[in-house]
Amino acid sequence: QYQALVKEIAELDENDRKLEELIQSCTLQLKLLTEDSESQRFAYVTCQDLRSIEDLAEEMVMVIKAPADTKLQVTDPSEALQISLQSSRGPVDVFLCPES
Amino acid sequence: AQEFQNLEVEKQRRIERIKQKRAQLQELILQQIAFKNLVQRNRQSEQQTQSPPAPNSTIQLPFIIVNTSKRTVIDCSISSDKFEYLFNFDNTFEIHDDIEVLKRMGMSFGLESGKCTPENLKSANSLIPKVLQPYVAEMADGSSWANREVPTDLIQTA
Amino acid sequence: RTRILVSIGEPFGSPEKFQKINQLVSSSDRYPKRAGDTGSLPKPLKRL
């Protein structure tokens, strides 16, 4: 039993290593994809897209476009329902998604 | 016997870690599919209309959304340089990032909820490298690995 | 005040960060549950 367990653990370690490899390559692929200028040109949604989502159809939807590394802080809800944004790399754009 | 017990614990620890890595890999695959599907949709749409959408009607990625009831009153303070905002709500709200929005728009073909039709599975597979397709198949039929034994044959080299 | 701090502005972060915030906010018993909104007239929206 002990020998079988040792062999099983070695197999799990191999699986773990292969998964780690796939995660690294997927992360790199996604990074290259989002940085590709051609893809960036078509990487947008429309207000209609947001309104087409059932949960959002009857809601007020605020869209926040912030530079990288912007800090979003949410106060403990038992004290207040507060969101604060602090950017260090440029202005933050906030607007309401129109209903129609 | 003691050593055997210790190895059993080691084995469980490894299985847990593999489950987490599989979930992380599946999320990365979903994000890649959703992003490529969105880019493909917009590119085809612009080719058909022969013109880009009106400039103020699109929201470029990355973004996040905050949604709340229409009855909510929001007090908002903004610094003059627009580097700082403070929002006070009088009702609950939700925050979602762009990838969550893409999933809800159906850009990941329902893979995240295990409801993917065979045609959509084919479309999803066309957007990712072949080595990742077994993982997409797993998501498509909703048999998440999170609660299953590790199917060793499915894990292929990168 | 205790706060939850996340970084935004990068493409495709991990979805868990907002799930935790949303659970915390929706479970706060301080405010009327949105699902059971009373039929009060919608208050005038404050301009952002």
Report the distance separating Cα A59 and Cα C44, nearest Å.
14
Minimal-distance CA residue of chain B relative to C9: B62
**pTM for this model (two decimals):** 0.85
Among A20-34, B84-98, C30-44, the minimum mean pLDDT is found in C30-44
- Kindly indicate the confidence band of residue C35, based on its pLDDT and cuts at 50, 70 and 90: very low
Q: How far is A53 from chain B (nearest CA, A)?
A: 6
Residues of chain A contacting C2 with CB distance shorter than 8 Å: 75-76, 79
Residues of chain C contacting A95 with CB distance shorter than 8 Å: 48
Confidence (pLDDT) at B155: 45
Give C4's strand partners. Answer: A74
Confidence (pLDDT) at C29: 62
Closest partner CB to C37 (pick from B27, B61, B69): B69
Report the distance separating Cα B125 and Cα B136, nearest Å.
7
CB contact under 8 A, C12 and B90: no
Q: Which of residues 1-48 of C touch B (CB under 8 A)?
A: 8-15, 18, 21-22, 25-26, 28, 31-34, 37, 40, 42-43, 45-46, 48
What is the 3-state secondary structure of B52-108? CCCHHHEEECCCEEEEEECCCCEEEEECCCCCEEEEEECCCEEEEEHHHHHHHCCCC
- Kindly indicate the confidence band of residue B153, based on its pLDDT and cuts at 50, 70 and 90: very low
Q: Is the peptide bond before B62 cis (omega within 30 degrees of 0)?
A: yes
Report the distance separating Cα A26 and Cα B128, nearest Å.
10
- Please report the ipTM that was assigned to this predicted complex: 0.83
Residue C33 has pLDDT above 60, yes or no: no
- Kindly indicate the confidence band of residue B79, based on its pLDDT and cuts at 50, 70 and 90: very high
- Kindly indicate the confidence band of residue C2, based on its pLDDT and cuts at 50, 70 and 90: low
